[in-house]
Chain A
Amino acid sequence: MMIQTIFRRLPGPAPVRIAAMVLVALVILVLVIWSYELLGDILDSGGTVGE
């Protein structure tokens, strides 16, 4: 529902809006994975000593 609302509010023709949504989704995915990697170091940093 939230995605539909954002999609409707975007300016431009449908293909441009779809491309913008895909781009935003990719950016969010990259940020989410980056944050997972960062948080993952709290669980298991690889076990190095002094590094």
Chain B
Amino acid sequence: MRTRSIRIIRGAGWTFIWLGVYLMGFVAYQLWFTNILTARDQSALASGLEEHYEAVEVEQIEYEPITIPGSTPAPTVPDPEPNFILQESASEVGEAFAEIRIPKIDLDVAVLEGVRRRDLKKGPGHLTGSPLPGQPGNSVISGHRTTYGAPFGALAELVAGDRIEVETALGVHVYEVQEAPERCRNEDGLCVVKPTDLWVTEAREEAWLTLTTCHPKFSARRRLIVFAKLVDGPNAEVILAA
């Protein structure tokens, strides 16, 4: 009887030891090893960007302002002269096509096309189907907050007026962070939504950049959203004038 009890206690002890080892391994893998993987991928992506900028096709297209149903239409000008903006060809999913820089949080990383799990492990990903940065509408970029290099780890520190630069083949597009909309603003002034709140990715008038990441830190329960508006760049003058 005593021997049996000792065996049970010993078995339970070993189980807890292995469970502890497993959990320590999990923490080390997520908070340390994934950062190494992403740093390696980022280094490869960043070195291929210059080549991408040279290979990408750029064309001039007529600018047609986006109108959202329900919004006040812009006053009609008789026979307005056509305005042209620059547009680059879309990249393949998984390919780096831009660089995002946020001086306030010391961020400077390559951005990939696509938001598949395997893309986001390499760096922030552009939501396929949303306009490319610098184009009219709402360009959406998602990124990890605590693991895989945590590119958007400090996104909550951004306040209205902070600059976000996105460099693409067209040049540097400068965005300015805007106040969180009332419908999603929490007590800290942050825009926090459910992962299913698709309205944050919907089309917008002028040119916007929407950054999305997990919230709170160490949880994927909600999303932290940062909205920024294009203020400068190759297409800014035409888009803002319209």
Contacts known (A33-B29, A44-B144, A44-B214); A49 close to B219, Cβ less than 8 A:
no
Is there contact, CB below 8 Å, between B142 and A41? no
Partner of B144 from the list A36, A42, A47, A49 (CB cut-off 8 Å) is A47
Task: Give A48 to B223 CA distance when docked, in angstroms.
Answer: 8
The 10 closest A-B pairs by CB, nearest first: A47-B213, A46-B120, A45-B220, A50-B198, A47-B142, A48-B142, A44-B146, A36-B29, A44-B147, A48-B115
Where the two chains meet, the residues of A that have a C-beta atom closer than 8 Å to any C-beta of B are: 2, 32-33, 36, 39-51
A42 touches B220 (CB 8 A): yes
Number of A-B contacts (CB under 8 A): 88
A33 to B37, CA, bound (A): 13
Judge whether B145 and A44 touch: CB under 8 Å.
yes
On chain B, the residues within 8 Å of A50 by CB distance are 195-198, 201
Q: Is the CB of B223 within 8 A of A47?
A: yes
Interface residues of B in 108-143 (CB under 8 A from A): 115, 117, 120-121, 125, 127, 140, 142-143
Q: Does B156 contact A (CB under 8 A)?
A: no
Task: Give Cα A36 to B30, complex, Å.
Answer: 8
Interface members, chain B 184-206 (any A CB < 8 Å): 193, 195-198, 200-201
Tell me which residues across on chain A come within 8 A of B148, comparing CB atoms. Answer: 44, 46
Q: How far is the CA of A44 from the CA of B120 in the complex (A)?
A: 11
Question: Is B219 touching A43 in the complex (CB atoms < 8 A)?
Answer: yes
Across the interface, which residues of A come within 8 angstroms of B201, CB to CB? 49-50
Given the known interface contacts A46-B143, A48-B127, the answer about A41 and B195 at a Cβ–Cβ threshold of 8 Å is: no
Complex-state Cα separation, A51 to B212, whole angstroms: 12
Of all chain B residues, the one with the shortest Cβ separation from A2 is B14
Chain B residues in 8 Å Cβ range of A32: 22, 25
Cα distance A39–B146 when bound, in Å? 13
- Given A46-B117, A49-B201, A49-B212, residue A41 in contact with residue B220 (CB < 8 A): yes
